[in-house]
Amino acid sequence: MTIGVPVGPARRLGAPRFAAWRVASRRRRTAAGSRPPPFPLLAAAAIVALLGLLPIGVTLSRAMQVDVAAAGALLFRPLVGRLLFNTLALVAAGTLTAAVVGTAAAWFVERTRLPGRRIWASLAAVPLAIPSFVTSFAWVSLSPAFQGFPGALLVVTCAYYPLLYLPVAAALRGLDPALEETARSLGCGPWQRFTRVVLPHLRPALFGGMVLVALNVLVEFGAFALLRYRTFTTEIYAEYRTGFAGPQAALLAVVLMMLCVAFLAIESVARGHVRYARVARGTGRVATRYPLGRARLPVLLGFVVLVVVTLGVPLGMILFWLTQPGAAAITPAEVSAGILISSTLSSLEYGAAGASLTMILAFPIAFLAVRYDGPVVAAIERAAWLVQGVPGIVVALALVALTVHTLHPLYQSSLLLVIAYAILFLPLALVSIKASLQQAERRLEDVGRSLGLGWAAVTRRIVLPVAGPGLAAAAAMVFVAVVTDLTTTLLLAPIGTHTLATRVWVDTSTLAFAAAAPFAALMATISLLSTGLLAHRFGGTNRLRNDLTPGARR
Partner 1 sequence: MTALYASGLEKAFGPHPVLRGIDLTVASGDVMAILGASGSGKTTLLRLLAGFEQPDSGIIRIGNRVMADQRDMVPAEQRQIGYVAQEGALFPHLSVADNIVFGLPRRQRRAQFRVRELLDLVGLPAGYGARAPHQLSGGEQQRVALARALAPGPGMVLLDEPFSSLDAALRVETRQAVTDALAATGATAILVTHDQAEALSMARTVAVLRDGRLVQVATPETLYRSPFDADLARFVGDAVLLPGAAAGGWVQCDAGRLPLAAGAAQGPVIVLIRPEQIRLTTPEIPGMPRATVTDMTFYGPDARVGLILDRARPAGGGIAITARVAGHNTPVVGMRLGIMVEGTVTAFAVPASISEALALD
Choose between 278 and 442: whose C-beta lies nearer to partner 1: 278
Choose between 283 and 450: whose C-beta lies nearer to partner 1: 283
Residues 358 and 422 sit within 8 Å (Cβ to Cβ): yes
Distance CA 106, CA 112 (A): 10
Choose between 112 and 413: whose C-beta lies nearer to partner 1: 112
Backbone φ/ψ region at 511: left (φ over 0), alpha (ψ -120 to 50), beta: left
Degrees, nearest 5: CA angle 17-19-22: 120
CB of 272 to partner 1, least distance (A): 15
CB of 277 to partner 1, least distance (A): 4
Q: How many CB atoms lie within 10 A of CB 114?
A: 23
Choose between 205 and 524: whose C-beta lies nearer to partner 1: 205
CB of 282 to partner 1, least distance (A): 6
215, 319, 315, 302: which is closest to 263 by C-alpha?
215
Distance CA 259, CA 383 (A): 17
CB of 193 to partner 1, least distance (A): 8
172, 61, 14, 1: which is closest to 548 by C-alpha?
1
Residues 100 and 472 sit within 8 Å (Cβ to Cβ): no
Choose between 183 and 528: whose C-beta lies nearer to partner 1: 183
CB of 542 to partner 1, least distance (A): 21
DSSP per-residue string spanning 133-173: HHHHHHHHHH-GGG-SHHHHHHHHHHHHTHHHHHHHHHHHH
Residues 452 and 506 sit within 8 Å (Cβ to Cβ): no
CB of 197 to partner 1, least distance (A): 6
CB of 284 to partner 1, least distance (A): 10
Choose between 40 and 189: whose C-beta lies nearer to partner 1: 189
Distance CA 498, CA 344 (A): 9
Choose between 3 and 129: whose C-beta lies nearer to partner 1: 3
Distance CA 410, CA 401 (A): 11
Choose between 201 and 230: whose C-beta lies nearer to partner 1: 201
Spacing of C-alpha 180 from chain mean position:
33
Using a 10 angstrom Cβ sphere, with 0-12 exposed, 13-18 middle and 19 or more buried, the burial of residue 283 is: exposed
CA dist 248 → 73, 200, 389, 451 (Å): 10, 44, 20, 63
138, 156, 224: which is closest to 516 by C-alpha?
138
CB of 4 to partner 1, least distance (A): 8
Q: How many CB atoms lie within 10 A of CB 442?
A: 14
Choose between 188 and 300: whose C-beta lies nearer to partner 1: 188
Helix (H) or strand (E) holding 271: helix 247-273
CB of 171 to partner 1, least distance (A): 12
CB of 165 to partner 1, least distance (A): 22
CB of 290 to partner 1, least distance (A): 13
CB of 194 to partner 1, least distance (A): 13
Choose between 113 and 554: whose C-beta lies nearer to partner 1: 554
Q: How many CB atoms lie within 10 A of CB 44?
A: 18
Binding site for partner 1 (CB under 8 A): 3, 176, 178-179, 181-189, 196-197, 200-201, 203, 276-283, 288, 554
Torsion of CA 218, 530, 541, 96, to 10 degrees: 30
Choose between 3 and 462: whose C-beta lies nearer to partner 1: 3
Choose between 187 and 375: whose C-beta lies nearer to partner 1: 187
Distance CA 268, CA 22 (A): 7
Distance CA 200, CA 203 (A): 5
Choose between 184 and 498: whose C-beta lies nearer to partner 1: 184
Torsion of CA 299, 302, 303, 308, to 10 degrees: 160
According to DSSP, residue 336 is labeled -
CB of 107 to partner 1, least distance (A): 18
279, 289, 288, 287: which is closest to 1 by C-alpha?
279
